[in-house]
Structure 1
Amino acid sequence: MPAFPSALPAARTPDPMDAPALRWGVLGTGWIAERFVSSVQRHTRQKFTAVASRDAARAKDFAEANNIPGSYGSYEDLVAAGDVDIVYVATEHTAHLACARLALEAGKHTLVEKPIGLDAAEATRIARLAAERGLFCAEALWTFFLPRFDVVRQILDSGVLGEVHTVLADIGEHFGPEHRILRPELAGGPLLDLGTYPVSLATWVLGAPAHIQACGQPHPAGVNGQTSAILRDTHGNQAVVHTTLFSDTPTTATIAGSHATLSLPGPFYQPGDLVLTPSGGGTPLTCAGSRTAHDALHFEAAEAARCIAAGSPQTPLRPLSDSIATLRAMDEIRRLTGITFPRPA
């Protein structure tokens, strides 16, 4: 058993400015697209050459506001453009599969905003198409590309926690009545938007669950309002996850082992601190992290560019098998709680 360390490891994340520059096209002009583009432009050498929306005027406005030279009123026109190397899919969840297929079939490397699909079946279809075409594809679940999570990765790999028996993760945020998360036709509710974070942490640390228990509470808007679940592995180790859109919650995470406990103060899925505490008491170690929130979205773009330049079709930081495993667990949570999503035409 490794001795308790004298200091936490430093992140090994390469400088995003060193990533080879690619030409990016963006499908979608919403909140996450705006923040992704802004972060990538500030912190990397990546170039945005085009943006597309189903509303040409909206695409033009977005392009002008973000200094992007090209804009299109259709997704088909963007993926056909010769000056686009990689497509970032930032559409609503219900369009992720169609847009990812469109980009991959046009021969473009593809980064799909989380969740990569509505369910594991959609994610599997995307993964198979990318493999058939020999193209890079990944889920833009930015958490796993952050320097904070490279430190978590090193702590887990070191064995200093001992056997991990418990993962606790929560995320809750209040939303006003106009937000798309309350629209059933867009696969609303907290599970895909918020719940991806705690469920992905659980499946990453403990692996695919052998058994799941879950319960939910409906929202007056006609979507699920909150969900809690217990995910148990084959050894009986457990993850307890919770997500809600009724309230703001601490949004913290804990990974507890037989020899030490790793705490991630909230928001656990963003840049921030880490605290490692030995079992039975003792002096904790703290790694102070910057709280740059969504300005850290650029790390996933830099990783995609490095993988493509190296000829790697996937990133080891979030392989598509992990994305599928997370969605498979969420499929079971939905089955147990009666949550249904629309099936796109």
Structure 2
Amino acid sequence: MAVCWGVVSVGLISSDFTAVLQTLPRSEHQVVAVAARDLSRAKEFAQKHNIPKAYGSYEELAKDPNVEVAYIGTQHPQHKAVVMLCLAAGKAVLCEKPMGVNAAEVREMVAEARSRGLFLMEAIWTRFFPAYEALRSVLAQGTLGDLRVARAEFGKDLTHVPRAVDWAQAGGALLDIGIYCVQFISMVFGGQKPEKISAMGRRHETGVDDTVTVLLQYPGGVHGSFTCSITAQLSNTAFVSGTKGMAQVLDPCWCPTKLVVKGEHKEFPLPSVPKDCNFDNGAGMSYEAKHVRECLRKGKDVEDQGGRQALLGDIGPLPTCSVTVLFRTTSPKRLQGAQISPLHSSLGGRAGLSPRKKNYISQEILQHLST
């Protein structure tokens, strides 16, 4: 039986997700409605993607009885309102990352989903790529020995994207692309809670975080680190090393097709799509779509799906030890007292269930400090 999708918002990411859904068997996935705040744009999108219904408001889509699961592709600050709207209407929800712009928003969404027994998942599509499946298998088999260190980098010039440098639109490196780095480290260390978090970075002239480096110390002296940037080109790779070797996810580490394990190169070609996607390796969205269907049809929690969860569980408390943060800027004290959202906050899977493993992420890991 097909999962019937409703697409909320008609931006580039929604276009890619819709196009990819339509490459999957109609017996498994169907896009039955789309909504935008402008009816003409919704109709244009519907015509382009051959979607039977177009709505000029999100409320109308939420009320559509034919929509089983809503895909939320709106701008970051709108996520909470739309997620809550769809949950209140009894819809399952797949929300683009970041699901919320701060921990409080995510807690509220999670509580709503749990109270209604509804499926709620953040679209951390990276977790579902075959290269990541292979990496999890390597880790589970102990191929790398006892893990010691993990590192991830994601950086590119995004200053031409207005949203990326706009504080009001939840821009900045951490929330937009740092999320991919922290999910990698959280995954390879099995969702352990870090004992200590240190960070330093640079603020962009618009006030958002420009470039950030974070060090996370885990029990037993194991540690992870990452750097993310919206102004600097970085390696865009990730690795984890242990006493018996190293595994490296090659560029682009957030949507990878290549994995190197102890010097052995492995490739994982993406499925073909009939049209070009707006984003790198967009065809890989099919993996998370299939996983949503699997969860809905089998009623399983994402935690049961081979550890592929998009950062499951409660948003845990800050580590009890100190967090060192250095943000220096010559900009005016325009953001004094403001806080960046948590590095990540998420619920994967069916919110009403209690997973065996939890991923704890600092609630307010970084604060803007003015000089």
TM-score tier after normalising by the smaller chain length = 0.7 to 0.9
**Residue of structure 2 equivalent to 1:286:** 265
Partners in 2 of 1:31 and 1:218 — Cα distance? 27
Where 1:318 maps in the other structure, the secondary structure is: coil
SS of the residue 1:34 aligns to? helix
| Residue aligning to 1:329 | 361
* Superposition deviation, residue 204 in structure 1: 1.8
Equivalent in the alignment of 2:329: none
TM-score (norm 2): 0.80
- The 3 A distance-change label for structure 1 pair 178 and 168 is closer
Q: How much does 1:266 deviate?
A: 0.7
More displaced stretch, 66-75 vs 43-52: 43-52
Q: CA deviation at 1:80?
A: 0.5
Q: Does 1:253 align with 2:238?
A: yes
1:275 equivalent in alignment to 2:260: yes
**For the Cα contact (< 8 Å) 2:76–2:98, is it kept in 1?**
yes
Match of 1:95 in 2: 78
Whether contact under 8 Å (1:270, 1:291) holds in the other structure is no
Structure 1 length as normaliser, TM-score? 0.85
CA shift in 2, pair 1:243/1:24, >3 Å: same
Q: CA deviation at 1:233?
A: 0.7
Q: State the identity %.
A: 32
| Partners of 1:204 and 1:322 within 8 A in 2 | no
Pair 1:318-2:350 in alignment: no
Classify the secondary structure of the residue corresponding to 1:42: coil
- Aligned equivalents of 2:158, 2:222: Cα separation in 1: 33
Residue ranges of structure 1 left out of the alignment (5+ in a row): 1-19, 278-283, 340-345
C-alpha distance in 2 between matches for 1:218 and 1:97: 26
Alignment of 1:296-307 (within 5 A): 296-307=284-295
**Could you tell me how far apart the structure 2 residues matched to 1:113 and 1:49 are?**
19
- What letter corresponds to residue 275 of structure 1 in structure 2? V
Q: Paired residue for 2:20?
A: 39
Give the C-alpha shift of residue 291 in structure 1: 5.7
What amino acid maps onto 2:133 in structure 1? Answer: D
**1:100 shift after superposition:** 1.0
Counting only pairs closer than 5 Å after superposition, residues 132-147 of structure 1 correspond to structure 2 as: 132-147=115-130
* 1:75 Cα offset (Å): 0.8
One-letter code aligned to 1:38: A
1:323–1:269 CA distance, 2 compared to 1 (3 A): farther
**RMSD after superposition:** 1.9
Asked whether the equivalents of residues 76 and 170 of structure 2 are also in contact (C-alpha less than 8 Å), the reply is: yes
Q: Is the 8 A contact 1:171 1:194 kept in 2?
A: yes
Question: Secondary structure in 2 aligned to 1:321?
Answer: coil
Answer yes or no: is the 8 Å Cα contact 1:35–1:294 preserved in 2: yes
Deviations along 1:42-87, one digit per CA (max 9) or x if unpaired, are 1343111111111222211111111111111111110100110000
The verdict on how the C-alpha distance between 1:330 and 1:28 changes in structure 2, with shifts beyond 3 A counting, is farther
Is 1:221 aligned to 2:206, yes or no?
yes
Distance change >3 Å, CA 270–CA 131, structure 1 → 2: same
Contact in 2 for aligned 1:136/1:312 (Cα 8 Å): no
Say whether 1:191 aligns with 2:174: yes
Contact 2:270 2:283 in 1 (8 A): no
Query: What is the CA-CA distance between 1:248 and the residue it aligns to?
Result: 2.3
- Give the Å deviation of 1:119: 2.3
For 1:295 and 1:132, how far apart are their aligned partners in 2? 34
Confirm whether residue 237 of structure 1 aligns to residue 225 of structure 2: no
Contact 1:167–1:255 at 8 Å: present in 2 too? yes
How do 1:168-183 residues align onto structure 2 when only pairs under 5 Å count? 168-183=151-166
For 2:362 and 2:164, the matched residues in 1 are separated by: 17
**Hey, what's the Cα distance between the residues in 1 that align with 2:56 and 2:97?**
23
Q: What's the counterpart of residue 350 of structure 2?
A: none
Provide the C-alpha distance between the structure 2 equivalents of 1:178 and 1:288, rounded to a whole number of angstroms.
31
Give unpaired runs (5+ residues) of structure 2: 272-280, 317-343, 346-359
Corresponding position of 1:158? 141
* Residue of structure 2 aligned with 1:62, choices 31, 45, 58: 45
Structure 1 residues 34 and 186, CA, compared in 2 at 3 Å: closer, same or farther? same
Which structure has more helix as a fraction of its residues?
Answer: 1
**1:218 Cα offset (Å):** 1.1
